[in-house]
C-alpha cells in the first residue's frame, strides 16, 4: 500500500500570551521541517450593539467593569441633564494611584427602562480604546446611585471651550483639534459604529487640547413636523448637524457622520458659533453654512490642499452621500505640528492649511 501523504496538523496555539489565542490562533506543524510556521488569521473587531442583547443587563455585565461605590469620592457637580447630574470626583482602584474622573449619576426615581437606557451608553463606550475617544473607567450598578465613570476632561465641551477662548488659538492649533476628532471618528468607523450626533458639544477637551469624541447613548427618531428635531433621551437635538439623507430617509452611515464632521469643522473655525446662525430648521435642511466672519484665508505660500475641505464633507444631495470624502481621510495630516496632539498647546503661528470651500 502506498504511504499516505503527511498533511499539516492544525492545533491550538500553545504559546502563552499569544495575542490571538482567544480567537483560536493556529500554528501549522510540518513534521518534515525543523521549525514550525505560524499561521495567523487577521484579527477583526466590530462594534456590538448592546440593544441586540435579549437581556440588556447581560451586555453591561459582559462589556463593562463594575466598580465598587466605596472606591469613588464625588467632590462637586459640574453639569446636569435630563438623565441626572455630571460630577467631578476621584477614583482609587486597588494597586493604582487615585485619578480624577467624571461621574454621570442617574437621577433618583428612575424606571428600569431608564436605567437600561442609561447603562447602554456604558456598554457602547466600553468597546472603544482610542486616544481620541472618551475612555470608560467602569460602572456602578450595585448601589442605589447608578453611575457611569469616565476619564475627566479638564476643559469640558469643545463648543463652550472655544467660545470662552475666542480668537486665542492659532489656525494650526484649531486644525490639530479637528485632526484629533477625525482620528477618533475614523477609529469608530473602522469598528462599524455610526455616531449619529457628532457636534462640538459632544467633543470633550483635556488640559493638553486633546479632543475626544463622546456621547454615545442617543437613539433618535425623526418626527413628522418639517421643523422637528431628532428626539433623544436627553431632549431635543437640532437638525443643524444632521446629513440631508438622514433627515429625508432616516439613513445614517459613516457618510452622514462625515457631513456632521464638516459642520464641526465650521464650528471649530468659527470658535463655537451656532451653525447657520438664526436660520430656521426648515431653511437649514440640505443647506451649507456660509463661512464664518473670521474664516481664515490660506497663505499664497501655504502648503496647498492637504486636508479635507468643508465642501468635500458637505456634499448635500441625498443621493450623493457616497461622493463625500471618506471618513478615513478625516485625520489626514495637514501640518507636521498636528502629527501628535500633545504639543498643540505650544504651537506657534505656522503657515495656514487650505480648509476653504
Higher pLDDT, 286 or 131: 131
- Same structural domain for residues 330 and 238? yes
- Residue 89 and residue 214 in one domain: no
What percentage of residues in the chain have a pLDDT greater than 70?
61
Q: Stretch 258-263: mean pLDDT, rounded?
A: 90
Burial of 160 (0-12, 13-18, 19+ CB in 10 A): middle
Q: Is residue 180 domain-shared with residue 302, that is, in the same domain? A: yes
Asked if residue 174 and residue 145 are part of one domain, the reply reads no
More confident site: 56 or 350: 56
Residue 236: the pLDDT is 54
Distance CA 146, CA 104 (A): 8
Give the three cell numbers for residue 131.
486616544
Q: What's residue 252's pLDDT?
A: 82
Within a domain: residue 262? yes
**For residue 336, is pLDDT > 60?**
no
- Grid cell in block for residue 242: 444632521
* pLDDT for res 73: 97
Identify the band that residue 59 occupies on the pLDDT scale cut at 50, 70 and 90: very high
Q: Assess if residue 37 is contained within a domain.
A: no
pLDDT in tens, 103-115: 999 999 999 999 9
- The neighbouring-strand residues paired with 106 are 84
* Residues 184 and 255 placed together within one structural domain of the fold: yes
The three-state secondary structure class of 73 is: strand
CA-closest candidate to residue 245, choices 295, 194, 292: 194
Q: Are 80 and 86 in contact (CB under 8 A)?
A: yes
DSSP 49-72: -GGGSSSHHHHHHHHS-B--GGGE
- C-alpha angle with apex 153: 152 to 154, nearest 5 degrees? 110
pLDDT of residue 300: 33
Give the model's confidence band at 294: pLDDT under 50 very low, under 70 low, under 90 confident, else very high: very low
pLDDT at 94: 93
Last residue of a domain, one of 134, 151, 168: 151
Number of domains within the chain: 2
The answer to whether position 354 is within a domain reads no
129 shares its domain with 166: no
pLDDT, tens digit, 9 for 90 and up, residues 29-39: 333 434 444 54
Position 301 scores a pLDDT of: 33
Closest by Cα among 208, 212, 195 to 131: 212
96 annotated as ligand-binding: no
Convert the pLDDT of each residue in 92-150 to its tens digit.
999 999 999 999 999 999 999 999 999 999 999 999 999 999 999 999 999 999 999 99
Task: Check if the beta carbon of residue 286 is closer than 8 Å to that of residue 310.
Answer: no
Radius of gyration in angstroms for the set of CA atoms belonging to the chain, rounded to a whole number: 24
| Beta partners for residue 212, in sequence order | 204
Catalytic residue among 117, 197, 215, 257: 197
What is the grid cell recorded at 95? 494597586
Phi and psi, residue 320, nearest 5°: -110, 20
197 as an active site residue: the answer is: yes
Q: Which residue, among 241, 281, 283, 286, has the nearest Cα to 261 in the 3D structure?
A: 241
Q: Is residue 21 part of a domain?
A: no
Q: Which residues in 214-278 belong to E strands, given as ranges?
A: 221-222, 230-232, 235-237
Question: For the stretch 291-302, what's the b/e string if a residue is b when 16 or more beta carbons lie within 10 angstroms of its beta carbon?
Answer: eeeeebebeeee
- Structural domain includes residue 25: no
pLDDT, tens digit (0-9, with 9 covering 90-100), for 233-246:
444 545 789 888 87
Give the per-residue pLDDT at 310.
Answer: 64
> 97, 119, 151 — which closes off a domain?
151
Spatial distance between the Cα atoms of 185 and 206, rounded to a whole number of angstroms: 18
**pLDDT tens across 18-32, in order?**
444 444 443 333 334
Contact 252, 246 (CB under 8 A): yes
In a domain, 296, yes or no: yes
What local confidence, expressed as pLDDT, does residue 229 receive?
52
Same domain, 265 and 307: yes
Mean pLDDT of 77-100: 93
Which of 136, 151, 166 corresponds to the end of one domain?
Answer: 151
* pLDDT tens digit sequence for 160-203: 999 999 999 998 899 899 999 999 999 999 999 999 899 999 99
Does 33 reside within a domain? Answer: no
Please state the rounded mean pLDDT for residues 321-327: 61
Position 319 scores a pLDDT of: 52
Q: Which domain holds residue 237?
A: 158-346
Q: Is the pLDDT of residue 57 over 70?
A: yes
Q: Indicate whether 192 and 309 sit together in one domain.
A: yes
pLDDT at 46: 86
Residue 103 sits in the same domain as residue 180: no
| Averaged pLDDT score across all residues of the chain | 75
Claim to verify: residue 340 and residue 319 sit in the same structural domain: yes
- Residues 137, 259 within the same domain: no
Torsion angle of the four alpha carbons 298, 304, 308, 314, in this order, in degrees rounded to the nearest 10:
60
Total-model pTM:
0.74
On whether both 114 and 233 belong to a single domain, the answer is no
Q: Is residue 273 part of a domain?
A: yes
Query: Cell digits for 277?
Result: 446662525
**DSSP 8-state symbol, 207:** T
Give the CATH number for residue 304: 1.10.510.10
What's the pLDDT band for 330 if we cut at 50, 70, 90?
A: low
Amino acid at each position: 500500500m502506498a504511504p499516505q501523504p503527511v498533511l499539516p496538523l492544525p492545533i491550538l496555539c500553545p504559546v502563552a500570551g499569544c495575542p490571538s489565542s482567544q480567537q483560536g490562533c493556529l500554528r501549522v506543524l510540518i513534521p518534515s521541517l525543523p521549525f514550525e510556521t505560524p499561521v495567523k488569521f487577521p484579527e477583526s473587531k466590530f462594534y456590538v450593539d448592546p440593544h441586540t442583547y435579549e437581556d440588556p443587563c447581560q451586555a453591561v455585565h459582559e462589556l463593562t467593569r463594575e466598580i465598587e461605590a466605596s472606591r469613588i469620592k464625588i467632590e462637586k457637580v459640574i453639569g446636569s441633564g435630563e438623565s441626572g447630574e455630571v460630577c467631578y470626583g476621584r477614583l482609587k482602584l486597588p494597586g493604582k494611584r487615585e485619578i480624577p474622573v467624571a461621574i454621570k449619576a442617574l437621577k433618583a426615581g428612575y424606571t428600569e427602562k431608564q436605567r437600561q437606557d442609561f447603562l447602554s451608553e456604558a456598554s457602547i463606550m466600553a468597546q472603544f480604546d482610542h486616544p481620541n475617544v472618551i475612555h470608560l473607567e467602569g460602572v456602578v450598578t450595585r448601589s442605589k446611585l447608578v453611575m457611569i465613570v469616565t476619564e475627566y476632561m479638564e476643559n469640558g465641551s469643545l463648543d463652550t471651550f472655544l467660545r470662552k477662548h475666542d480668537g486665542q488659538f492659532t489656525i494650526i492649533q484649531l486644525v490639530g483639534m479637528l485632526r484629533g476628532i477625525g482620528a477618533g471618528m475614523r477609529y469608530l468607523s473602522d469598528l462599524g459604529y455610526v455616531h449619529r450626533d457628532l457636534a462640538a458639544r459632544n467633543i470633550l477637551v483635556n488640559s493638553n487640547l486633546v479632543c475626544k469624541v463622546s456621547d454615545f447613548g442617543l437613539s433618535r427618531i425623526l418626527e413628522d413636523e418639517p421643523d422637528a428635531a431628532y428626539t433623544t433621551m436627553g431632549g431635543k437635538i437640532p437638525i443643524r448637524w444632521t446629513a440631508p439623507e438622514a433627515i429625508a430617509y432616516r439613513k445614517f452611515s459613516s457618510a452622514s457622520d462625515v457631513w456632521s464632521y464638516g459642520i464641526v469643522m465650521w464650528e471649530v473655525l468659527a470658535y463655537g458659533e451656532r451653525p447657520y446662525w438664526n436660520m430656521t430648521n426648515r431653511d437649514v435642511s440640505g443647506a451649507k453654512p456660509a463661512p464664518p466672519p473670521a474664516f481664515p484665508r490660506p497663505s499664497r505660500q501655504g502648503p496647498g490642499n492637504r486636508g479635507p475641505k468643508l465642501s468635500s464633507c458637505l456634499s448635500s444631495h441625498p443621493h450623493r452621500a457616497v461622493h463625500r470624502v471618506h471618513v478615513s481621510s478625516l485625520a489626514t495630516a495637514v501640518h507636521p505640528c498636528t502629527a501628535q496632539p500633545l504639543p498643540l498647546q505650544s504651537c506657534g503661528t505656522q503657515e495656514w492649511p487650505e480648509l476653504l470651500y
